[in-house]
Amino acid sequence: MTIYRAQLLDTPQDPFHGGTLRCDQDGALLVAGGAILDRGGYCRVRAEHTDEEVVDLREGLLLPGFVDTHVHYPQVRIIGGLGMPLLEWLDKCALREEAKLADPSVARSVATEFLTGLVGSGTTSALVFGAHFADAVDDFFVQAAASGLRLTSGLVVGDRLLPPELLTTPDRAHRESVELARRWHAAGRVRYAVTPRFALSTSEEMLEACAQVLRDVPGTLFTSHVNENPVEVADVMRLTGAASYTDAYDRHGLLQARSVLAHNVHPGGEELNLLADRGTAVAHCPTSNCALGSGLFPLRAHLDAGVAVALGSDVGGGTGFCLLKEGLQAYVVQRLQPDGLLLSSAQLLYLATAAGARALGLEGEVGDLSVGKRFDAVWLRPRPGDPLSVGLAHAQDADDALAKVFTLGAPTDIAGVWVDGAGGSNASDKPGHRLAPEPAGCQFVRPSRGSGLGAGRGLGAPDVESASSRRTCRRGGNQIRPR
């Protein structure tokens, strides 16, 4: 067993419905076998477990691992393709890039780069839009499983309005999807999601084939795009004859509790009711919506209708992997709308963690740092003297500190990432570095600031207090202090 001593922040109760930020300023998590067995003030937990090793993470903050509900792995190299609306960006940027994954060696290195970006940004769970090529998706799953991250992905399918190399047929899509889903769904931490690209690129027969995969491999998830851009929406309505964009999926039985639709920037009122009825979640991707000029997300309308919303980075339409940036952009987008919500930092954290866990059906396992949950966590430790470090030292309270984290935090502040209590490397200075988890209980520490990987006592690593060097109730580090 290991005790992690840290300032703990999480949102076990939905702050859109009365929950508040939970903070243990000098907190402790007792972790064994990847699960959180106890949580409380450090003094109490330490006194009850005097022989256990203590990992000292008091510098900075420990948050639940981020949950990204919409991110495209084949697009890691095209982040930053600014200046185009959705359909032009797909045509000139994204689809051309995705065609390159027909080459297995390209697909392999893109997958490695993607996983590095993900873990380096503190994301521990994600719903990942796959590639159009079955071999590439199979290899992605191999790497995803080895990474130790909690990932759900699938073969992207489409049979119209795509470059010829990306097209498939409903029969082939069904066969390849079922094969991949049977191999990978619920294999350790990875799961399968049925993934038609969007209604524009999928015929009725293709969506029917997708529905068949959901039936053939029970428990698989479903994901696609919806109502992202006004021109796209008009094209879908013209082509499908569906009552709405949402209906184009629903009439094939594709919307269920484990379905996630990305964007939904331009929904009709009936569509929101339909999504709420089906229990389908929406992945809100604010940096993508802004960069592609897709529009301002109507969060209040979603919440009023009872639609579950969580954050997605939408790499590479989005501007990076880090859900802290998505949270800040979500805040800004609401600020800019006459009826926008004034989002609190607790709500931003919820959208980046527990809401995502719920959207992906993982709420029993992750999303907060409660007893009984798996130890999926991210340790933010800004460099001394950095604006975030200064801000945290002068924060008025935990909510204020968290607001500073969303405003100033970046992947460079992420010093450690755990999934199921095991460390996944987010080292960025070595090409081809290992992403595989350490045995349960180990932690990864970014090596760039000092003496290297591992739980040593160098500048870059947390203190590990063993039974032989035990101290009680030591305070210090960069804590949140009342002014």
Report the residue from 29, 71, 76, 90 that binds ligand GUN according to the rule CB under 6 A. Answer: 90
First to last CA, the chain: 36
Q: Mark the segment that binds ligand GUN (CB under 6 A) among 59-67, 86-94, 119-127, 400-408.
A: 86-94
Classify strands 53-64 and 377-380 as parallel, antiparallel or unpaired.
antiparallel
The answer to whether 132 and 94 are in contact (CB under 8 A) is no
The answer to whether 60 and 382 are in contact (CB under 8 A) is yes
Instruction: Give the distance, in angstroms, between the CA of residue 222 and the centroid of all CA atoms in the same chain.
Output: 16
Q: Which does 73 bind (CB under 5 to 8 A by kind): ligand GUN, Zn ion, none?
A: none
Which spans in 228-298 are helix H?
A: 230-240, 245-250, 269-278, 286-291
The answer to whether 196 and 158 are in contact (CB under 8 A) is yes
CB-wise, 262 or 398, nearer to Zn ion?
262
Q: 300-329: which residues touch Zn ion (CB under 5 A)?
A: 314
Report the residue from 132, 150, 174, 225 that binds ligand GUN according to the rule CB under 6 A. Answer: 225
CB-wise, 8 or 86, nearer to ligand GUN?
86
CB-wise, 55 or 200, nearer to ligand GUN?
200
Tell me if 97 contacts Zn ion by CB under 5 A: no
Tell me if 173 contacts ligand GUN by CB under 6 A: no
Tell me if 228 contacts ligand GUN by CB under 6 A: yes
CB of 256 to Zn ion, least distance (A): 20
CB-wise, 292 or 352, nearer to ligand GUN?
292
- Listed in order, strand segments (DSSP E) in 401-440 are 414-419, 422-423
91's CB contacts (< 8 A; 6+ apart) are none
Q: Which does 228 bind (CB under 5 to 8 A by kind): ligand GUN, Zn ion, none?
A: ligand GUN
CB-wise, 92 or 481, nearer to ligand GUN?
92
The answer to whether 30 and 45 are in contact (CB under 8 A) is yes
Amino acid present at 406: F
CB atoms within 10 A of CB 243: 15
Q: Mark the segment that binds Zn ion (CB under 5 A) among 75-83, 102-110, 259-267, 363-371.
A: 259-267
Using CB under 6 A as the binding criterion, the count of chain residues that bind ligand GUN stands at: 11
Q: 282-321: which residues touch ligand GUN (CB under 6 A)?
A: 288, 314, 317
Structure tokens given for 140:
């992605």
The sign of the CA dihedral 323, 324, 330, 333 is negative
Measuring CA to CA, which residue among 166, 22, 348, 75 is closest to residue 7?
A: 22
Tell me if 138 contacts Zn ion by CB under 5 A: no
Report the residue from 39, 72, 284, 358 that binds ligand GUN according to the rule CB under 6 A. Answer: 72
CB-wise, 275 or 362, nearer to ligand GUN?
275
Closest residue by beta carbon to ligand GUN? 317
